[in-house]
């Protein structure tokens, strides 16, 4: 059996506990980076989240998050059965650029405002019409929560999906404490929120151009 190699059990446990509350069947990928291990997972709304914890890790392995959480809870040193073949998501480039900083309080406000809107519209409808909770939720998640500008003048859109990720995963820290600011980062086409206790990444959907087959240069 492969050892998980995690020394930061409390930090890993907090990450895994949040994950499994959102999705009991979620997978977690462990990637060693020197004396630390990066934990990666995909949230139900398509955002990639990661947290670095102490310990050399197993190299590169994917396992059920619930199984790893259970192993850590009893002090077990071994990984659950590997699920490497089931990991199908790309990771952002290692190098990224910080574009802007945003206060944790502002991100918490944006996350709560979306939650309030979801409750109100689900209960009372929109413009007098009943609206399904899922439709409202998807519309809110796709909403651009804030826009920052790169040095070159190019705008960077931060969707509510990212805001909800850092909020729901506890990356902003305890609500009763002042936390360091969160950085908006860009890595290639990826946009990320680098918060005090973890990072959330989202790769915007590429816009595809549809051409009539007769007019295509390759026929």
Domains of the chain: 9-86 (3.10.150.10), 97-202 (no CATH)
Q: What is the pLDDT of residues 106-119, one digit of tens each?
A: 999 999 988 887 77
Average pLDDT over residues 40-53: 96
Residues of the chain with pLDDT > 90: what percent? 71
Spatial contact of 46 and 161, defined as CB atoms under 8 Å apart: yes
| pLDDT over 70 (residue 152) | yes
Residue 214 pLDDT: 43
pLDDT (tens digit per residue) in 125-134: 554 455 556 6
Asked whether the beta carbons of 142 and 160 are under 8 A apart, the reply is: yes
Segment 18-42 shows an average pLDDT of: 97
CB 49 within 8 A of CB 16: no
Q: Residue 69 pLDDT > 70, yes or no?
A: yes
- 151 or 144: which leads in pLDDT: 144
pLDDT for 163: 95
pLDDT at 156 over 80: yes
Mean pLDDT (the chain, rounded): 87
Q: How far apart are CA 178 and CA 105, in angstroms?
A: 8
**Which pTM does this prediction carry?**
0.86
Give residue 16's pLDDT band: very low, low, confident or very high (50, 70, 90).
very high
3-state SS, one letter per residue, for the chain: CCECCCCCHHHHHHHHHHHHHHCCCCEEEEEEECCEEEEEEECCCCCEEEEEEECCCCCEEEEEHHHHHHHHHCCCCECCCCCHHHCCCCCCCCCCEEEEEECHHHHHHHHHHHHHHHHHHHHHCECCECCCHHHHHHHHHHCEEEEEECCCCCEEEEEHHHHHHHHHCCCCCCCCCCCCCEEEEEECCEEEEEECCEEEEECCCCCCCCCCHHHCCCC
Instruction: Give the tens place of pLDDT for each residue, 163-219.
Output: 999 999 999 998 777 778 999 999 999 999 999 999 999 997 643 334 444 444 333
Which pLDDT score, from 0 to 100, does residue 147 have? Answer: 95
Q: Are 214 and 123 in contact (CB under 8 A)?
A: no
pLDDT above 70 as % of the chain: 85
């Amino acid at each position: 059996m492969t050892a998980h190699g995690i020394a930061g059990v409390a930090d890993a446990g907090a990450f895994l506990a949040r994950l499994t509350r959102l999705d009991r069947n979620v997978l977690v990928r462990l990637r060693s980076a020197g004396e630390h291990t990066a934990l990666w997972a995909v949230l139900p709304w398509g955002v990639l989240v990661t947290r670095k914890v102490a310990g050399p890790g197993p190299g590169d392995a994917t396992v059920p998050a619930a199984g790893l959480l259970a192993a850590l809870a009893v002090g077990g040193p071994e990984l659950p059965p590997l699920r490497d073949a089931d990991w199908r998501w790309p990771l952002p480039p290692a190098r990224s650029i910080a574009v802007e900083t945003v206060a944790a309080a502002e991100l918490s406000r944006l996350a709560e405002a979306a939650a309030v809107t979801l409750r109100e519209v689900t209960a009372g409808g929109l413009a007098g019409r009943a609206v399904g909770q899922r439709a409202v939720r998807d519309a809110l998640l796709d909403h651009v929560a804030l826009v920052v500008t790169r040095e070159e003048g190019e705008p960077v859109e931060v969707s509510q999906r990212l805001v909800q990720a850092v909020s729901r995963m506890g990356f902003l820290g305890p609500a009763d404490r002042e936390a360091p600011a969160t950085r908006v980062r860009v890595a290639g086409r990826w946009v990320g929120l680098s918060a005090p206790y973890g990072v959330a990444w989202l790769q915007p959907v590429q816009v595809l151009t549809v051409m009539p087959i007769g007019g295509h240069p390759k026929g």
